Chain A
Amino acid sequence: MKRLLQLLAVPALLALVAQAAAAAPAPIAVGKPAPQFTYQLLGGRTLTPAQLHGHKYILWVMGTWCPSCRTGSQIAAQHITELERAHVALVEMEAYENLGGNGPTLASVKRSIGKPAQAQNWYWGILNQVQTATIDPKSDMDIFYLVDAHGKVVSQGMAPGAHWGQIDAFIHDR
């Protein structure tokens, strides 16, 4: 009986390990498809891969304590209408547990931006642990990815507020 249990335990363990490996998505990379996550947004809503399908979008990982992230949000607010006209979505996501830093809530950061933050193409949400590990594997702050309409990551950068030219080129296919 003991022998039988041992024999069953080994494949069961292997199956668990394989399942865990399959469940952990590969880290995000330029030239590869963006992760197909369903993001948890403020207000209890979600953003599904289907909603983003066929649209260009900016996937931005930020922290509420991060000064350049707050500036980036203010600069994004100045360009959100332009993004909307170009059918580009801005997916601004707080990293899991704010990457260990202390800061205000994401909702208060959104409120501080005012009316532009309510734009239909501006999504505010919080990443879970797996999503953070996938999209921000090096725990960088204020990192963004530009994803084309085919769902491929075409570029990445740091501090969108300081590098809006890169985003501008992406919006206008330059």
Chain B
Amino acid sequence: MLIADLAAIVVVLLWATFAARRAGQSAGVLAAAAMKLAFTPPAVLRSALLMLLIGVPLTAFYLVALPAERFGALAWGALQFLTPGDAIAAVLIGLGVPVSIAINLTTRKARAAQATLTFGGVIAALLPSSLCCTTLIPSALATLGASAPVVMHLSGRFQGFFAQYAAAFIGVAVAAVLLSLWLAASNLAAGCALSLVTTKDDR
């Protein structure tokens, strides 16, 4: 899991660095500026609420859901099987989603004319939720299979497949969140909002 997390982070960072250089910018500066814009007035209250209402519950959910596959139930007891890799993935996904939405909403406010691009960023931010955790997928398959003996017969095979590639699934979810963050930050950079902030800060 830890390797999958690190691989996802490295891949997205490399891609973001490459994309930023092509645009003649620094990925780090761009991301920092976008964060600053989303977490300073007037957007700070909205962003803080998003973190509180989405980020905290989502992180708590993933902290339980990711080790639940090893525990066998989506319950607090799963926490005793939490690994460092699970914890990193839970924090990145749980907090990455609301941060991404916060940046996108800030961009939307600042760049109403380019709402289509921003909407795409919001969708990208929400995408990882569909990859929330592999334990839910076999459970869903098992539930579906209750009325279809053929599916039930294969449920063990499906569970085996998801168990084998669980780390990869979570790695993809982490990469999707980081990508959504990058898309949101680059959306901000594409408009005047970020330029105004950086110009003001530079003085």
Is A101 touching B72 in the complex (CB atoms < 8 A)?
no
Shortest C-beta distance, A141 to chain B (Å), equals: 5
Q: Are B163 and A72 in contact (CB under 8 A)?
A: no
Closest to B75 in A: A162
Contact A68/B71 with A139-B154, A140-B142 known, Cβ cut-off 8 Å: yes
| Pairwise interchain contact A100-B163, C-beta atoms closer than 8 A | no
Q: Identify 10 new A-B residue pairs, CB closer than 8 A, beyond the known A67-B70, A139-B153, A141-B155.
A: A65-B160, A66-B160, A71-B81, A100-B157, A101-B159, A101-B160, A101-B161, A138-B145, A141-B159, A158-B72
Contact with B along A135-166 (1 / 0, CB 8 A): 00011111000000000000000111111000
A159 B160 Cβ-Cβ under 8 A: no
How many interface contacts (CB-CB < 8 Å) are there between A and B?
79
Q: How far is the CB of A120 from chain B (nearest CB, A)?
A: 26
Contact B69 A67 (CB under 8 A): yes
Q: Which residue of B75, B155, B160 has the most chain A CB atoms within 10 A of its CB atom? A: B160
How many chain B residues have a CB neighbour from A under 8 Å?
25
When C-beta atoms are compared, the residue in chain A nearest to B152 turns out to be: A138
- A67–B159 Cα distance when bound, in Å, is 10
Cα separation A71 to B135 with both chains bound (whole Å): 15
A138-B145, A139-B155, A162-B77 given; A103·B72 CB < 8 A: no
B 148-173 to A, binary, CB cutoff 8 A, 1 in contact else 0: 00001111110111011010000000
Total A residues in contact with B, Cβ cutoff 8 Å: 27
Chain A residues near B154: list those with CB within 8 A.
100, 139
| Complex CA distance for A67 and B157, rounded to whole angstroms | 14
Interface positions of A from 57 to 109, Cβ below 8 Å from B: 63, 65-72, 95, 98-103
Contact A67 B163 (CB under 8 A): yes
Taking the nearest CB of chain B, how far is it from the CB of A78, in angstroms? 12
CB of B29 within 8 Å of the partner chain? no
Q: Is B73 engaged at the interface, CB distance under 8 Å to the other chain?
A: yes
Alpha-carbon distance A98/B75, docked complex (angstroms): 26
Query: Which B residues contact A (CB, under 8 angstroms)?
Result: 69-73, 75, 77-78, 81, 138, 142, 145-146, 152-157, 159-161, 163-164, 166
Nearest A residue to B145, CB-CB: A138
List, in ascending order, chain B residues with CB within 8 A of A139's CB: 152-156
Contacts of A67 in B (CB 8 A): 69-70, 163, 166
Q: For residue A161, which residue of chain B has the nearest CB?
A: B72
Q: A65-B164, A139-B152, A140-B142 are in contact. Are A161 and B71 (CB under 8 A)?
A: yes
Kindly state the separation between the CA atoms of A73 and B196 in the bound complex, as whole angstroms: 60
Interface contact B155-A140, CB-CB below 8 Å: yes
